[in-house]
Structure 1
Amino acid sequence: MKAAVYYENGGPEVLKYEDVPDPQLHPKGVIIEVQAIAIEGGDTLNRWRGPLMTNPHVVGYQAAGVIVEVGAEVEHLKVGQRVATVNNWGSHAALRSVPARNCWPVPDGFDIKKAAAIPVTFGTAHDCLFEFGRLKAGETVLVQAGASGVGVAAIQLAKRGGASLVLATASSDERLEKLKPLGLDQGINYKTHEVPKEVMRLTDNKGVNVVVDSVGGPTLQGSINSLAYRGRVSMVGAAGREPMVVDVGSMMGGNRSLSGVFLGAEIMTDRVHDNIQALIDDAAKGELDVVIDRVFPLSEAAAAHAYIESRAAVGRVVMVP
């Protein structure tokens, strides 16, 4: 099969488009013919510094497609069924082997490219807001990196969950404008404004109840400083690729809290599995908008990764074999 592979960590240029052996079927898994690959922020981080679990390595969490083989111990899935899938690696390829538990049926008529972008992206945003952020209707939210995949999902889910004010940051006013139809109330250009000060201005010096932070690095301290009394930060990534050094003492006076969120730790649970299926079904019904910025052929994986790292995208970047 064809795949985007690399032999060493590095920038997008390490990705090569090559022939590699087809994946093997596990008795408790399926093989899918990949139709769409949603590139996650974690995919670019793994390419940059993550372990190479195979050699050459096929990176990637999320892909959707059609089941072409079913393991002997799998009873609830069948050949020809469309599914969205998640696994630790292997999405950047024409075929993919995944555990059956990591598959979610895609409703008839729903765009397979959008389905590919839901499980990790929307599942993570939902957990950041509700499971760990404990968001209640009437509370206020700040989404760092609002134009990212998780950011776009978090803005919609926060507004749908009854948030009275949804703020988000991005690198340009143009990107922020594109988020307003999704439920953004006020945008903050982090290149021209100091985020905590702007948050306080927009909330009458109260701060926000919940922050979703997928950036980390110095941004994380800004998230803490943007909190209201008893506010909560859900820290879910290190897209900024800088060390996370925070002043823990800055949380004490306001009884603030900081939670690390990693969907993968609970993705095999019934709670997360069922929630992801509900999110896919809601998107298929038009209740959530899966924003796809650009679509690249898999053969141009290096260009797709470079485009993501340019921070020009709004939403997900998808590849098709």
Structure 2
Amino acid sequence: MKAAVYYENGGPDVFRYEDVPDPECHRKGVVIRVEAVSIEGGDTLNRFRGALATKPHIVGYQAAGEVVAVGEEVDNIKVGDKAVTTGAFGSHAELRAVSARTAWVIPPGMDVRLAAAIPVPFGTAHDCLFEFGRMKKGEIVLVQAGASGVGVAAIQLAARAGASMVLATASSDARLEKLKGLGMTHGINYARDDVVTEVARLTDKHMADVIVDSVGGPTLQTSILSLAYRGRVSMVGQAGREPMKVDVGSMMGGNRSLSGVFLGAEIATDRVHDTIQQLIQDVADGALQVVIDRTFALKDAAEAHRYIESRQAVGRVLLVP
């Protein structure tokens, strides 16, 4: 099969488009013929500095396509089904093998490209808001990096759950404009405006009850300073790639809390598996929206990663073999 591989960490230029051996199907796994790869934030981070589990290495958490092989111990997925899969690596390829536990059947007639972009970003956003953020109807939510995959999902989920106000940050007014139809109440251009000052102004100094922060670095301090009394920050990922040196002293006086969130630690549990399956169905039914910014050919993985790192995208960038 063909795959986008690399032999060492670095910028997008480390990618090579090469022939590699086809993956084998585990007795508890499935193999799909990939039709769409959703490039996740962790994919760019892993390419930059993550461990190479194989050499050459095929990066990538998430891909969807047709099931072409099923292990003898798998009974909930069959050959010919369309499925979206997640795993520690291996998505940037024509074929992808994963555990059946991290594969979800795509409803008949659903666009595979949309399904490809759901499990990690929507599952992560859901956990950030509800499992760890404990969001309740009527609360104010702030979504850092609102134009990211997790951001786009969190805005919609918070609005659907009855948030009284959904604030989101992005690097330009143009990117914020594209978020208005998803349920964002007010946008904050962090390249121009001070986020903490704007949150105070927009909320009449109440601040945010729940914050989803997928950026980390200095942005995490901004999130902490934007918390309301008893507010909660769900910190997921480190998209900013900068050290997380924060002062958490202000959290004690306001009974505030900070939770680290990693979907991968619980993705094989019944709770998360069932949540993601429902989120896929919600998108299929039109209750939630997947935003696809651009699509690149698999052979152009370097260009796709470079585009993501330019911070121009709104929603997900896909690769198509």
TM-score range, shorter chain: over 0.9
Matching of residue 75 in structure 1 with residue 82 in structure 2: no
Residues 108-127 of structure 1 aligned to structure 2 (within 5 Å): 108-127=108-127
Matching of residue 167 in structure 1 with residue 167 in structure 2: yes
Matching of residue 155 in structure 1 with residue 155 in structure 2: yes
Q: For the residues of structure 1 that align with 2:146 and 2:74, how far apart are their CA atoms?
A: 39
Give CA-to-partner distance per residue, 1:42-68, whole Å, 9 cap, x none.
000000000000000000000000000
Give the structure 1 partner of residue 316 of structure 2.
316
Q: CA deviation at 1:250?
A: 1.4
Q: For the residues of structure 2 that align with 1:286 and 1:248, how far apart are their CA atoms?
A: 40
Q: CA deviation at 1:246?
A: 0.9
Give the structure 2 partner of residue 9 of structure 1.
9
Q: For the residues of structure 2 that align with 1:191 and 1:76, how far apart are their CA atoms?
A: 47
Residues 187-202 of structure 1 aligned to structure 2 (within 5 Å): 187-202=187-202
Q: CA deviation at 1:263?
A: 0.2
Q: For the residues of structure 2 that align with 1:154 and 1:12, how far apart are their CA atoms?
A: 28
Shifted more, 33-42 versus 247-256: the winner is: 247-256
Q: For the residues of structure 1 that align with 2:279 and 2:186, how far apart are their CA atoms?
A: 25
Matching of residue 142 in structure 1 with residue 142 in structure 2: yes
State TM-score, norm by structure 1: 1.00
Give the structure 2 partner of residue 214 of structure 1.
214
| Partner secondary structure for residue 64 of structure 1 | strand
Give the structure 2 partner of residue 282 of structure 1.
282
Q: CA deviation at 1:253?
A: 1.2
Q: Compute the RMSD of aligned alpha carbons.
A: 0.5
Give CA-to-partner distance per residue, 1:98-143, whole Å, 9 cap, x none.
1111110101111101100000010000000000000000000000
Give the structure 1 partner of residue 228 of structure 2.
228
Q: For the residues of structure 2 that align with 1:12 and 1:222, how far apart are their CA atoms?
A: 29
The letter for the 2-side match of 1:53 is: A
The letter for the 1-side match of 2:142 is: L
Contact map agreement 2:126 2:154 (CA 8 A) in 1: yes
| Partner secondary structure for residue 3 of structure 1 | strand
Q: For the residues of structure 2 that align with 1:30 and 1:105, how far apart are their CA atoms?
A: 11
Q: For the residues of structure 1 that align with 2:23 and 2:54, how far apart are their CA atoms?
A: 12
The letter for the 2-side match of 1:164 is: S
| Partner secondary structure for residue 253 of structure 2 | coil
Give the structure 1 partner of residue 36 of structure 2.
36
Give CA-to-partner distance per residue, 1:258-285, whole Å, 9 cap, x none.
0000000000100000000000000000
The letter for the 2-side match of 1:300 is: D
Q: For the residues of structure 1 that align with 2:174 and 2:253, how far apart are their CA atoms?
A: 36
The letter for the 1-side match of 2:90 is: G
Segments of structure 2 that go 5 or more residues without pairing to the other structure are none
Q: For the residues of structure 2 that align with 1:318 and 1:121, how far apart are their CA atoms?
A: 13
The letter for the 2-side match of 1:281 is: Q
The letter for the 2-side match of 1:61 is: Y
Give CA-to-partner distance per residue, 1:64-109, whole Å, 9 cap, x none.
0000011111111110000010000000000011111111010111
| Partner secondary structure for residue 281 of structure 1 | helix
Q: CA deviation at 1:217?
A: 0.2
Give CA-to-partner distance per residue, 1:212-249, whole Å, 9 cap, x none.
00000000000000000000000001000000011121
| Partner secondary structure for residue 46 of structure 2 | helix
Q: For the residues of structure 1 that align with 2:180 and 2:63, how far apart are their CA atoms?
A: 28
Give the structure 1 partner of residue 178 of structure 2.
178
Paired-residue identity, % = 72
Structure 1's consecutive aligned runs of 4 or more residues displaced over 2 angstroms after TM superposition are none
The letter for the 2-side match of 1:188 is: I
Residues 228-307 of structure 1 aligned to structure 2 (within 5 Å): 228-307=228-307
Give CA-to-partner distance per residue, 1:278-312, whole Å, 9 cap, x none.
00000000000000000000000000000000000
Give the structure 1 partner of residue 95 of structure 2.
95
Q: CA deviation at 1:25?
A: 1.0
Q: CA deviation at 1:24?
A: 1.0
Give CA-to-partner distance per residue, 1:154-190, whole Å, 9 cap, x none.
0000000110000000000000000000000000000
How many residues were matched structurally?
321
Q: For the residues of structure 2 that align with 1:136 and 1:126, how far apart are their CA atoms?
A: 13
Q: For the residues of structure 2 that align with 1:237 and 1:67, how far apart are their CA atoms?
A: 30
Segments of structure 1 that go 5 or more residues without pairing to the other structure are none
Contact map agreement 2:224 2:248 (CA 8 A) in 1: no
Q: For the residues of structure 2 that align with 1:169 and 1:196, how far apart are their CA atoms?
A: 11
| Partner secondary structure for residue 98 of structure 2 | strand
Q: For the residues of structure 2 that align with 1:179 and 1:126, how far apart are their CA atoms?
A: 18
